[in-house]
Chains A and B, each alone.
Chain A
Amino acid sequence: MNLPVRKVTADVNRSQPRRVDVNTEPPFLTLEKLIPQLLKRQSTRGQEHERYLRFRGQSGRCSEYVSDHNSSRDFLVSVFPDVNIKPSGESSLAASGFIAVGLFVLPLRNSVAQSCRIVPALKTLKMSTRPELLAPPEIFYDDSEARKYTSSSRIVEIQARLSERALELLALPEDDVPRFLLDIGCGSGLSGETISENGHQWIGLDISASMLNVAVEREVEGDLLLGDMGQGLGLRAGVIDGAISISAVQWLCNADKSSHEPRLRLKAFFGSLYRCLSRGARAVFQVYPESIAQRELILRQALQAGFGGGLVVDYPHSTKKRKEFLVLTCGSVPTSINDGHKGSGSEDDDDDSEDEDNGMVCVSDRNRPRKKQRTNKKGKGREWVLRKKEQSRRKGNDVPADSKYTARKRKSRF
Chain B
Amino acid sequence: MPTRSKKPRLAVWKFASCDGCQLTLLDCEDELLAVAGAIDIAYFPEATRGKIEGRYDLSLVEGSITTPHDAERIREVRRRSATLVTIGACATAGGIQALRNFADVKEYASVVYARPDYIDTLATSTAIADHVAVDFELRGCPISKKQLLEVIAAYLAGRRPQAPAHSVCVECKHKGNVCVMVAHKTPCLGPVTHAGCNALCPSYGRGCYGCYGPMESPNAVSLSQWLKPLGLDERDLQRLYRTFNANAPAFRKESERHGP
- Is B one of A's binding partners? no
B residues at A contact (CB < 8 Å): none
A residues at B contact (CB < 8 Å): none
